[in-house]
C-alpha cells in the first residue's frame, strides 16, 4: 500500500544523502508528471517528533540557530529536489504554485499513540486536533538553496510559536476555529477498501508467489 500511494521514504544519513535525493528525483519524474498529481505531501522535519527532538536540538545549536521547543528545523534536501523537478523554473510543464504549511496541534501537546487512537482512548478524553494552514506562493528565488533554507527555517520558527500558543490556549492565535467532523461511515468505507486491497494482494499475489519461490529454491537444492 505504501508503494501504491507513490510514497518515497527519505533516510540513510549524510553518507547516502546524494544517492537518496537522486533516487527521489527519479521517483518524482517517473510518477508526478505521468499521473498529473498536482500536489506533493512532504514531512520535511520527519513524521515523528519524539524520535528526533534531541538530534533536532543538537542540529540547531551546531548551526547557531535558536533551538525549537515543539518542532525541529527541517532538512531542505527533499524540498530542494521537489522544486528542482516541479518548481517554477521548469518551464516545460505546469509547476507547483503554492506551499501549504500545515501545523497540527494536539490538546496540551500530548500526542496519542496509534493504539490509543484506534481504541478511542484520547488524552484527557479530548479527540479534537487543531489544524492551522498558511499558504505561501512559490517563487523562483526559492529554487536557490540558501533562500529556501532561510524560508523553511522561518516557517518552523513561526510554527514553534503557533504550537506554544496552542498548547497553552487550545486554539491558534488570530484565527476563527471551524469544527470539521469526519463521518464514521466514510472512515469505515475507506478502511474496508484498503483491508480488501491488502487481503486480495496477500492471497492472490504475495502468498502464491512466496510458495512458488519456496518450492523453486528447495527443489533446486535437492
How many whole angstroms separate alpha carbon 212 and alpha carbon 139?
Answer: 53
pTM for the whole thing? 0.78
| Of 49 and 80, the one with more pLDDT | 80
Flag whether pLDDT at 12 surpasses 90. no
Which residue pairs, CB below 8 angstroms and at least 24 apart, start in 61-66?
Answer: 65/153, 66/157
**pLDDT > 70 fraction of the chain, expressed in percent and rounded:** 93
Domain boundaries, the chain: 17-180, 183-222
Residues contacting residue 96 through CB under 8 Å, at least 6 positions apart: 39, 40, 82, 83, 86, 87, 88, 138
Number of Cβ atoms within 10 Å of the Cβ of 172: 18
C-alpha cell at 22: 537522486
222 pLDDT exceeds 70?
no
Lowest mean pLDDT among 4-13, 24-33, 82-91: 4-13
Per-residue pLDDT reduced to its tens digit, 147-191: 999 999 999 999 999 999 999 999 999 988 888 887 888 888 988
The answer to whether residues 145 and 80 touch, using CB atoms and an 8 Å cutoff, is: yes
Question: Sign of the C-alpha dihedral, residues 143, 147, 151, 157?
Answer: positive
Amino acid at each position: 500500500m505504501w508503494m501504491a500511494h507513490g510514497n518515497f521514504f527519505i533516510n540513510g544519513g549524510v553518507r547516502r544523502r546524494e544517492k537518496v535525493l537522486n533516487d527521489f528525483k527519479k521517483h518524482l519524474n517517473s510518477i508526478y508528471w505521468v499521473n498529473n498529481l498536482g500536489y506533493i505531501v512532504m514531512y520535511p522535519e520527519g513524521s515523528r517528533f519524539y524520535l528526533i527532538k534531541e538530534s533536532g536540538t543538537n542540529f540547531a545549536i551546531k548551526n547557531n540557530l535558536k533551538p525549537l521547543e515543539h518542532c525541529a528545523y527541517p532538512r531542505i534536501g527533499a524540498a530542494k529536489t521537489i522544486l528542482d523537478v516541479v518548481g517554477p523554473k521548469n518551464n516545460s510543464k505546469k509547476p507547483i504554485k503554492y506551499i501549504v504549511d500545515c501545523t497540527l496541534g494536539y490538546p496540551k501537546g500530548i500526542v496519542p499513540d496509534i493504539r490509543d487512537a484506534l481504541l478511542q482512548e484520547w488524552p484527557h478524553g479530548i479527540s479534537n486536533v487543531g489544524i492551522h494552514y498558511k499558504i505561501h506562493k512559490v517563487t523562483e528565488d526559492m529554487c536557490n538553496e540558501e533562500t529556501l533554507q532561510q524560508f523553511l527555517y522561518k516557517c518552523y520558527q513561526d510554527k514553534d510559536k503557533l504550537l506554544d500558543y496552542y498548547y497553552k490556549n487550545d486554539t491558534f492565535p488570530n484565527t476563527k476555529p471551524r469544527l470539521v467532523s469526519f463521518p464514521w461511515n466514510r472512515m469505515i468505507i475507506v478502511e474496508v477498501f484498503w483491508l480488501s486491497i491488502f487481503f486480495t494482494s496477500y492471497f492472490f499475489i504475495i502468498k502464491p508467489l512466496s510458495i512458488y519461490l519456496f518450492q523453486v529454491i528447495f527443489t533446486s537444492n535437492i
